[in-house]
């Protein structure tokens, strides 16, 4: 049953539905616009917010498709973190103004060397009628693409531009919610608005929520998915997986990421520089078997852990032998990534209290607060850990706000269970 919808300040519209390719196929917003002859984009001078995931079912990139069409007017490209072609590593500034080698179009970076670079400037929007957003999210609040979308929506609102979202699935399902919301005063580029860690929404639904609840309300059109149901994970959609960023190689990575990204706020390696980032983690001071035994004592569901040693090729502990674990998700329906990583942090803190440290370097343009607090959305979970609270007790503390958010988001959902 489709969840009830209520009007938002800038209600979204959908393009006419097109026939599916097969009974099991899911059509993205791009696939549907393409099947409709790009009618939703015709007559508009377009700016495209894109990255390597902006492809149709045949893996043709939207920038290439639009720039090759004489009937469409693609004027400018906008690149989020990692760039429009996805070559930059995390938190690496991308040049402000360049030319795309493929299309020859000017590219505006939305991830430069300062916080001001995260949003388009008024001069970047001159000559445009609409901004089009087509990027695959991975279902976790830390992932910065939805915040690039939010800032671009605000810029479009101020410049009186239309904002068109070509929707894509939430790859780790649209049902499961977990983790705390961002508390007032703790906003950052890993949480500009109060979403939970695992939000269970598509980018189109988040855009509707931003318009309806957060005052980010340009003229908004969401081109909906066709054939996707909320309980589906990405590998059941029939769509090709394109890594949304250099360290998000597989759906398995996305499944653990809502918890394992917390390690970015510590001196533990989150597995960057290995072939399985976020699934693999550790540090030179960790005894893998001792950690596995302690973590298993928490009775976590849907998960098996494997002790291992690894040597990252870059970033934390590059070229150094680390002990750690690999997380193997064996039951996606019961696996709780945030609780799992909370238990992991508690275990490492218990076993190696002197060696585990919180990251103190600037994180996502914020230098006066700990990265772990920005990731949690406040300092409450960290302080609770430091005071010896159990992971289950800490997780219980955010259940009330999570249930309130679950009820609130209902009016903005677009797809059935």
pLDDT at site 95: 64
Count Cβ atoms below 10 Å from residue 296 Cβ, excluding itself. Answer: 14
Q: Spell out the residues 6+ positions from residue 249 whose beta carbon is closer than 8 angstroms to its own.
A: 243, 275, 276, 277
φ and ψ at residue 317, rounded to 5 degrees? 60, 35
Q: H or E stretch including 283?
A: strand 280-283
pLDDT at site 160: 98
pLDDT at site 102: 87
Burial of 338 (0-12, 13-18, 19+ CB in 10 A): buried
Residue 392 in 3-state DSSP?
A: helix
Q: Spell out the residues 6+ positions from residue 387 whose beta carbon is closer than 8 angstroms to its own.
A: none
Quote the CA–CA distance of 20 and 181 in Å, as a whole number. 37
Quote the CA–CA distance of 70 and 249 in Å, as a whole number. 35
Mind listing the domains of the chain with CATH numbers? Answer: 29-243 (3.40.50.12170), 251-378 (3.90.1150.140)
pLDDT at site 12: 38
Name which of 41, 120, 114, 139 is nearest 79 in CA terms: 120
pLDDT at site 20: 40
User: Which structure tokens are listed for 16?
Assistant: 């006419």
Name which of 140, 143, 206 is nearest 172 in CA terms: 140
Angstrom CA distances, 160 to 41, 338, 369, stand at 17, 39, 35
Quote the CA–CA distance of 175 and 359 in Å, as a whole number. 32
Count Cβ atoms below 10 Å from residue 29 Cβ, excluding itself. Answer: 27
DSSP 66-118: HHT-TT-EEEEEEE-TT-TT--S-TT----SEEE-TTT--EEEESS-SSGGGG
**What's the whole-model pTM score?**
0.92
Q: Spell out the residues 6+ positions from residue 21 whose beta carbon is closer than 8 angstroms to its own.
A: 27, 57
User: At which residue do the structure tokens 């070509």 appear?
Assistant: 166
Angstrom CA distances, 5 to 1, 2, 16, 303, 411, stand at 12, 9, 18, 36, 5
What is the four-CA torsion angle of 43, 13, 230, 52, rounded to 10 degrees? Answer: 20
Query: For the chain, which ranges sit under pLDDT 50?
Result: 1-24, 91
């Amino acid at each position: 049953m489709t969840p009830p919808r209520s009007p938002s300040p800038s209600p979204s519209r959908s393009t006419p539905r097109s026939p599916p390719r097969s009974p099991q196929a899911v059509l993205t917003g791009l696939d549907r616009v393409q099947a409709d002859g790009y009618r939703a984009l015709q007559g508009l001078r377009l700016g495209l917010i894109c990255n390597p995931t902006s492809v149709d079912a045949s893996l043709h990139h939207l920038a290439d498709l639009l720039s090759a069409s004489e009937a469409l007017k693609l004027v400018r490209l906008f690149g989020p973190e990692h760039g429009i072609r996805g070559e930059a590593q995390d938190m690496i500034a991308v040049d402000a103004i360049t030319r795309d080698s493929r299309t020859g179009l000017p590219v505006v970076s939305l991830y430069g060397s300062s916080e001001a670079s995260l949003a388009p400037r008024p001069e970047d929007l001159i000559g445009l009628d609409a901004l089009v957003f087509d990027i695959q999210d991975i279902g976790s609040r830390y992932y910065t693409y939805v915040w690039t979308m939010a800032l671009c929506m605000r810029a479009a609102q101020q410049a009186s531009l239309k904002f068109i979202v070509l929707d894509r699935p939430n790859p780790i399902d649209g049902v499961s919610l977990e983790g705390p919301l961002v508390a007032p005063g703790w906003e950052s580029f890993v949480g500009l608005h109060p979403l939970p860690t695992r939000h269970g929404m598509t980018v189109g639904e988040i855009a509707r929520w931003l318009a309806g609840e957060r005052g980010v309300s340009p003229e908004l059109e969401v081109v909906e998915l066709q054939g996707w149901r909320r309980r589906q994970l990405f590998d059941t959609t029939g769509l090709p997986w394109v890594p949304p960023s250099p360290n998000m190689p597989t759906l398995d990575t996305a499944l653990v990421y809502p918890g394992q990204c917390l390690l970015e706020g510590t001196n533990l390696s989150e597995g960057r520089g290995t072939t399985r980032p976020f699934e693999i983690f550790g540090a030179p001071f960790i005894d893998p078997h001792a950690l596995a035994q302690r973590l298993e004592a928490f009775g976590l569901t849907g998960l098996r852990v494997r002790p291992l040693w690894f040597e990252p090729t870059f970033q934390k502990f590059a070229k150094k032998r680390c002990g750690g674990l690999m997380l193997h998700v064996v039951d996606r329906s019961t696996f709780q990534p945030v609780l799992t990583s909370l238990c992991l942090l508690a275990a490492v803190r218990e076993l190696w209290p002197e060696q585990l440290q919180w990251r103190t370097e600037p994180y996502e343009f914020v230098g006066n607060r700990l990265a772990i607090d920005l990731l949690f959305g406040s300092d409450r979970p960290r302080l609770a850990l430091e005071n010896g609270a159990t992971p289950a007790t800490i997780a219980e503390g955010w259940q009330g706000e999570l249930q309130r958010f679950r009820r609130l988001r209902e009016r903005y959902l677009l797809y059935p269970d």
